[in-house]
Amino acid sequence: MPPTTAALPNSPEFTVTELSSALKRTVEDAYGHVRVRGEISGFRGPHSSGHCYFALKDEGAKIEAVIWKGVHGRMRFKPQEGLEVIATGKLTTYPGSSKYQIVIEAIEPAGIGALMALMEERKRKLGAEGLFDEARKQLLPYLPEVIGVVTSPTGAVIRDILHRLQDRFPRRVLVWPVKVQGDGSAEQIAAAIHGFNALPEGGSIPRPDLLIVARGGGSLEDLWSFNEEIVVRAAADSMIPLISAVGHETDITLIDFAADKRAPTPTAAAEMAVPVRAELFVEVGQLGHRAMLCFQRGQERRRSELRAATRALPSAAALLAIPRQRLDGAAAALPRALRANSHAHHRRFATACAGLTLKVLRAQVAHATQRLAVNGERLKHCARAGLRHRRDRFAALDARFKASKLANVQAQRKALARDRERTQRLAERARRALLIALQRQQARVASCGQLLGALSYRGVLARGFALVRDAQGLAVHAAAAIDPGARLSLEFADGRIGATADGESAAAPRSKPAAKPATAKPASTTTAKRVSKSVDQGSLF
């Protein structure tokens, strides 16, 4: 027996509590005061008790950390997710779960963690491209008919969203199941957003009026898929209004900046998506009641105004009194005005008659006759000059027409001569080309005929072989395929003959087979392989 085994009964026995307490004292004595540099991971703010629980990590390890409520309240620098910090405290153990942790007494920033630095750099890059501009963001529909949700189908997020929608205003929900963390999750989320946008209007699957990209809480590493550039660009390119509901209220991802609206939680996203149905009913009822009251008040006000206007209007007699008086005055003055007008016109007529004597009329007639004669002579001269001008112009045009007609005829004759010569040349070239093509085709036909003759099975038959066919006219490939007494057709080079199969020859070969059948049997097999598809070759043309 080994000495270690023999010494076990003499070893002291520890209870679990005693062993955990001993380990706790050992760790606290050895590492009573340490400074640790690492990146904060899994920080969710103070617990309901006021304590803070998170982890410090680097490239190769991870250690749990805790900040008690009193210490956290005195700290000037508060811990944040993803920050690289230098924590001062002491190591201890937690017997309840057999793990060690650091109790932080002071904390100071050591620089932004690698993931946070990458996130900030990517945020600056995408922001410079304008993906986060407010002008790109769309307004959310007030009451969408169909809501598309991109999330994990097995988590509590989809149940929270469906439950909240059912409470507020039931709507049709389409769920695109995706991975929300791990390898390939970013590609699936981006593909889901593009897939919803690619649905046609009026198709078998309705196109959503609103999209919700949702995920529960987690560390920065768990939510990193929503910081990937492919997801941010897909959210920015979405033509459907999109709500980002990733993590808790303190979690910030890049998709929150590219989305049209950010919700602190998935439940809040459902509340943003639809209004409360009961409140809408109440509001619509109130608005209808208010509209009816406004209509009644308006009608009553118009009745009062009409009554007031009616009382303010004067009577018909008062309105017609002045016009009637003016009409009476005009009727009284009308006879005097008619007499005065007649006298005035008579004076003007008398004055005009005094100037119209016989001598004046004769002078005016003579002057008009002279002007008429002068104008007649001028008209004759103008007509003769215009006629001569037109005659000269027509003569010049006739000469130009004849000259152009002769030149055109000569040009057409030259063109016809050139075309005739060109046609003759082309006809000669076509004739030569046709002869050459015919010669080539004849040579090709002759070559194909020779090749056909060389490949035809009839050439084989001419060398002394025979082709065996059954009663249906199909080639026979083996002797075992022939039944005793079957009718056969033997084709030779000079014709065909009928034959009947012998039962003994089908079962076993004869002792002294004839020379001709022995020669024909392998020929039939060989020939059958060559003509398995078509027996009669024929001519290619």
Considering the domain architecture, whether residues 82 and 41 belong to the same structural domain is answered as yes
Residue at a domain's end among 66, 94, 110: 110
CA angle 170, 176, 181 (to 5 degrees): 120
Q: How do residues 385-435 score in pLDDT, each as one tens digit? A: 999 999 999 999 999 999 998 999 999 999 999 999 999 999 999 999 999
269: containing domain: 143-275
Considering the domain architecture, whether residues 178 and 267 belong to the same structural domain is answered as yes
CA angle 181, 184, 189 (to 5 degrees): 70
Ordered DSSP codes for 378-431:
HHHHHHHHHHHHHHHHHHHHHHHHHHHHHHHHHHHHHHHHHHHHHHHHHHHHHH
Residue at a domain's end among 258, 275, 292: 275
Considering the domain architecture, whether residues 165 and 84 belong to the same structural domain is answered as no
pLDDT value of position 234: 95
Number of structural domains the chain divides into: 2
Considering the domain architecture, whether residues 162 and 103 belong to the same structural domain is answered as no
Residue at a domain's end among 220, 243, 275: 275
Considering the domain architecture, whether residues 164 and 230 belong to the same structural domain is answered as yes
In a domain, 466, yes or no: no
**Amino acid identity, position 256:** D
Rounded Cα distance between 175 and 196, Å, is 10
In a domain, 1, yes or no: no
In a domain, 238, yes or no: yes
Q: How do residues 313-371 score in pLDDT, each as one tens digit? A: 777 777 788 888 888 888 888 888 888 999 999 888 888 877 777 777 788 889 999 99
The CATH number given to whatever domain includes residue 89 is 2.40.50.140
- Can you name the residues that pair with 55 across neighbouring β-strands? 41, 64
The answer to whether 113 and 39 are in contact (CB under 8 A) is yes
Ranges of the chain with pLDDT below 70: 1-10, 76-77, 109, 111-115, 503-541
Write out the H or E segment, with its range, that includes residue 234: helix 229-237
The CATH number given to whatever domain includes residue 269 is 3.40.50.261
- Burial letters for 523-541: b for 16+ Cβ neighbours within 10 Å, e otherwise? bbeebbeebeeeeeeeeee
In a domain, 191, yes or no: yes
In a domain, 540, yes or no: no
In a domain, 342, yes or no: no
pLDDT value of position 9: 60
Q: Tokens 């406004």 correspond to what residue? A: 294
In a domain, 419, yes or no: no
Rounded Cα distance between 325 and 317, Å, is 12
Considering the domain architecture, whether residues 149 and 106 belong to the same structural domain is answered as no
**Amino acid identity, position 145:** E
pLDDT value of position 352: 80
In a domain, 91, yes or no: yes
pLDDT value of position 443: 94
Rounded Cα distance between 151 and 163, Å, is 15
Pairing of strands 146-151, 172-177: parallel
pLDDT value of position 77: 66
